[in-house]
Amino acid sequence: MSYINRIVIHCAATTNGRRLANARETAAAVIDRWHKDRGFRRSTPFVNEFSPGLRHIGYHFVIDTNGTVEKGRAIGETGAHAKGYNTGSIGICLVGTDKFTQAQWEALALLYADLVEKYPRAVVCGHRDLSPDLNGDGKITSNEWTKICPGFDVDSWETQLLSPRDEWICEEHL
């Protein structure tokens, strides 16, 4: 187990509003399969004790378009979601790319509130905010992003009291 100093919000880079899950497979199971194909692998002690069906998933939480929150890795288990920032972090993945359903926003706000209460010193950011500061000005700007993930400005979302902007919301399409 490690000290939690960062909570990183991601997107799955999938069609906005479209569920990954089907009757046989959850969104976390789909992402687990993708991560297996990329060579990710969880440590045996953690897999045996927490989410044993997800042997490769890099995220700690996955939020599907219907608002379902699935647990992937255990809190404190080193993730595989933000290269160079996996130790001591929690990875949250929203299904979609840059617009999310109202159910996802509500689930994210609840999860956020729970995690910041438990880990008040943790910095909350988007994956894109971990891009290199190429010009050294102390700010990561859009021209420096290596990814758009999670497709919205986490700082703005926090400043707006966890309310998404209209342009960040989409309808769920089953």
Q: Could you read off the pLDDT of 43-78 as tens digits, one per residue? A: 988 999 999 999 999 999 999 999 999 999 999 999
Q: In 3D, which of 145, 150, 123 has the Cα closest to residue 134?
A: 145
Cα 3 from Cα 54, distance rounded (Å)? 23
Cite the active site residues: 10, 59, 127, 147, 149
Q: In 3D, which of 20, 4, 41, 171 has the Cα closest to residue 94?
A: 20
Residue 1 belongs to some domain of the structure: no
Residue 155 belongs to some domain of the structure: yes
Cα 44 from Cα 141, distance rounded (Å)? 39
Q: CATH number, domain at 32?
A: 3.40.80.10
More confident residue, 150 or 171: 150
Cβ–Cβ under 8 Å, residues 104 and 92: no
Q: pTM of whole model > 0.75?
A: yes
Residue 174 belongs to some domain of the structure: no
* The predicted structure's pLDDT at residue 135: 86
Total Cβ atoms within 10 A of residue 128: 23
Structural domain of 127 = 6-168
Residue 173 belongs to some domain of the structure: no
Mean pLDDT of 119-146: 88
Matching residue, tokens 């692998």: 41
